[in-house]
Structure 1
Amino acid sequence: MSRRCELTGKAVLTGNLVSHSNRKTRRRFLPNLVNVTLTSDALQRSVKLRVSANALKSVDHRGGLDAFLIKASVDDLSPKAAELKRAVQKATASTAAAA
């Protein structure tokens, strides 16, 4: 399993650990990934995703998983999340057409 957020695409970064003597050694900056279950109002089901803590804050700020997916770029999303986005768009379009 890759260390990549399924919603924002955040991944591992590399850099230098610089000591007091200014000696540089390579290090990795890992994203803060958590396994969460988010509920989709449009699909009326819950979805398990591996997302960063930063993405969780963004989902809450945008007003839920559906709003986040509709606004998100498909390039940043994982294949699973991109499929979810298409399903949410289809479900909201059919709801809007029925109303």
Structure 2
Amino acid sequence: MARRCEVCGKGPMFGHNISHAHNVTRRVFLPNVHKMRVVEDGQVVRKKVCTKCLKAGKVQKA
């Protein structure tokens, strides 16, 4: 499943885990994406929406 918001396009971001000894390893920050039923042009469709878009009111829940 692609972890990408279908409203704003937010996807996985990359960074580093840094230990106390400064050992650096790669890690992934995943967006908080939920499958929602959304009203779009009078139709109810299922979309993957990040919680930031839900809180900002960018989509209307069905």
TM-score tier (shorter): 0.7 to 0.9
Which has the larger helix fraction?
Answer: 1
CA-CA distance at 1:57 after TM superposition? 1.0
- Matched residues, number: 60
Larger radius of gyration: 1
Letter in 2 for 1:20: H
Instruction: Report SS of the residue matched to 2:2.
Output: coil
1:78 match: none
Q: Which has the higher strand share?
A: 2
RMSD value over aligned CA atoms? 1.6
TM-score (norm 1): 0.54
Identity of aligned residues (%): 35
| 2:36 counterpart of 1:36 | yes
Residue type matched to 1:30 in 2?
L
- Where has structure 1 moved over 6 Å in runs of 4 or more? none
The runs of 5 or more residues in structure 2 that have no matched partner are none
SS at match of 1:49: strand
